[in-house]
Amino acid sequence: MPLTASAGPLPVARHVPSIRTVGPLFISALGLGPMLRLPHYCSASVIHSAGHNLVITAAHCVYGTGLGIEFAPGYSDGATPYGVWSVRHAYVDPAWKNDLDPRFDVAVLEMAARGGRNVEDVTGRAPRLGDAPPAGTRVTVDGYLAGSGGTPITCRAPVRYSHRYPTFGCRGYADGVSGGPWLTDGRVVGVTGGLHQGGCTPSISYSSPFARHVAALVARARAGGAGDVVPLPGADGCGTG
């Protein structure tokens, strides 16, 4: 691919024991998914907010109102050191809700409180939201490979652009990392998703280009208004052969 030709050999993602604000998503209730080591299917990250209760992921990782989805920050091979948190409301851009436009493949989740505390109270201060970075900016991309158990993977590499989508080259990314954060300078500047719902190969990943529409989602979620009913995503366009 052009990315490999211009940037040289791609780095390889490595496993780390835990990342306190990053975790997998489960179809679960009452924390049973992680407890029973059921499969997790996407990744997500706490983001800083005044209410300490917001999580960001890819829109294609969310369905319906978000009820029945749980998030386990810091998850490490079955352990949930920061608890398991249930989605209360999901917020997506109208361009995703109405047209599944991959440029808007971002969801902000309002998490229900537990015992009078919110998720960021427990994980500690989370990264703030940022805009899509310029080409050449080095970003760290975290996430979980789909399946049972496991620990997060992480990799740092420069951003390029493909068809106006932020593009990240690192080997070892596969199903399950969708929704995982792209971070630089203490800010979340993307999540794996967008073009081809995040990528068709384990070496090249994409994000929707973060801009004012993502800040608007965060503002809606922070205000605590009614959430959206999110449609199921279509095919990723990668083909089958």
At 167-207, the pLDDT tens digits run 999 999 999 999 999 999 999 999 999 999 999 999 999 99
Q: In the predicted model, is pLDDT for residue 240 greater than 90?
A: no
The pLDDT value given to residue 239: 76
Q: In the predicted model, is pLDDT for residue 55 greater than 70?
A: yes
Residue-wise pLDDT for 120-144, tens only, equals 999 999 999 999 999 999 999 999 9
pLDDT mean over 94-117: 97
The pLDDT value given to residue 2: 38
Q: What whole-number distance in Å separates Cα of residue 83 and Cα of residue 74?
A: 9
The pLDDT value given to residue 3: 45
The pLDDT value given to residue 63: 95
Q: In the predicted model, is pLDDT for residue 218 greater than 70?
A: yes
Q: Which phi and psi angles does 223 have, rounded to 5°? A: -70, -20
| Average pLDDT score, the chain | 94
The pairing of beta strand 187-191 with beta strand 181-184: antiparallel
Q: Is 130 helix (H, G, I), strand (E, B) or coil?
A: coil
The b/e string for 153-176 (b: 16+ C-beta within 10 A; e otherwise) is bbbebbbbeeeebbbbbbebbbeb
Q: What whole-number distance in Å separates Cα of residue 205 and Cα of residue 122?
A: 30
The pLDDT value given to residue 6: 45
The pLDDT value given to residue 241: 41
* Domains, the chain: 2-15+128-210 (2.40.10.10), 22-126+213-223 (2.40.10.10)
pLDDT mean over 64-69: 96
Side chain identity at residue 1, one-letter code: M
